[in-house]
């Protein structure tokens, strides 16, 4: 099964830890974030994984080359050193590197979680959606809006009093996006040519024409955004000795 891990970001919120290394190689409880993401994805049976690179790209390439035997998966590099494409654009560029035309499981190096990827994939297949997003009712300033049928229909930014409708249906659920999702390649091809493009914006652009649903993370699983020094330290404290 195809997978992709976003590891190309500049990691500015993790400075000074990222002054000399990419954020994907910053450690949580003694293990690089990228290694944890690869552990998580391969444990769910994802066996062909694309990792995009930009900031300190050579370090990530060298790390994967030196540690490739740790994972039962083919790991392929999508090189964005010429232009950082954001999540949506990075996914578009990576499509030719996928093993086949099947769905792609997507994760972020700066998310630490034990969310059940197999359950996310199972929901995606059972519903026959074009994309399935892992969500939760956690406190957040930004929410994705879903209909009573669990289909994406909008977005809101509570902090900045902004909102956007994406489907002609009233919202029933307000959920925070947890950074894991499964997407069919036909939807990614509809995004157009590779260019700097946030994935959530692309999903909202196509929510009226494609079925983009949600799968809620079970309450007994952990999830941490580790994209800032403070959040990384909080995750380290919560998870020390447990993982």
Q: What percent of the residues of the chain are helix, what percent strand, and what percent coil, each to the nearest 5? A: 35, 30, 40
Q: Name the one residue in this structure whose structure tokens are 């690089």.
A: 32
Q: Where are the domains of the chain?
A: 2-239
How far is Cα 14 from Cα 143, in angstroms, rounded to an integer? 24
CA distances from 81 to 49, 78, 97 (A): 19, 9, 16
Residue showing tokens 């079925």: 211
Q: Whole-model pTM?
A: 0.96
Residues 6+ apart with CB under 8 A from 65: none
Integer Cα distance of 47 and 72 in angstroms: 6
Q: What pLDDT digit, counting tens, does each position of 121-151 carry?
A: 999 999 999 999 999 999 899 999 999 999 9
Calpha distance 188→206 (Å, rounded): 10
Q: Which two tokens stand for residue 103?
A: 């769905």
Is 3.40.50.620 the CATH classification of the domain at 2-239? Answer: no
Confidence of residue 243 (pLDDT cuts 50, 70, 90): confident
């Amino acid at each position: 099964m195809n997978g992709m891990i976003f590891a190309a970001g500049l990691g500015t919120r993790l400075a000074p830890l990222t002054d000399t290394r990419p954020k994907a190689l910053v450690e949580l409880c003694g293990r690089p974030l990228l290694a944890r993401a690869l552990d998580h994805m391969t444990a769910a049976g994802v066996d062909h994984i694309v990792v995009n690179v930009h900031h300190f790209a050579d370090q990530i390439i060298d790390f994967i080359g030196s540690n490739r035997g740790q994972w039962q998966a083919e790991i392929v590099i999508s090189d964005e050193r010429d232009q950082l494409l954001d999540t949506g654009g990075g996914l578009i560029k990576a499509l030719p590197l996928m093993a086949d035309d099947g769905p792609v499981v997507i994760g972020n190096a700066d998310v630490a979680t034990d969310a059940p990827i197999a359950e996310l994939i199972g929901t995606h297949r059972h519903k026959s959606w074009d994309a399935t997003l892992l969500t939760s009712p956690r406190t957040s300033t930004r929410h994705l809006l879903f209909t009573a049928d669990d289909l994406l229909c909008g977005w809101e930014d509570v902090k900045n009093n902004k909102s956007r409708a994406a489907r002609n249906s009233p919202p029933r659920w307000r959920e925070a996006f947890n950074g894991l999702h499964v997407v069919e390649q036909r939807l990614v091809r509809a995004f157009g040519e590779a260019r700097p493009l946030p994935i959530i914006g692309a999903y909202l652009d196509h929510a009226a024409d494609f079925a983009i649903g949600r799968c809620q993370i079970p309450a007994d699983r952990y999830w941490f955004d580790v994209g800032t020094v403070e959040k990384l330290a909080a995750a380290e404290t919560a998870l020390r000795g447990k993982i």
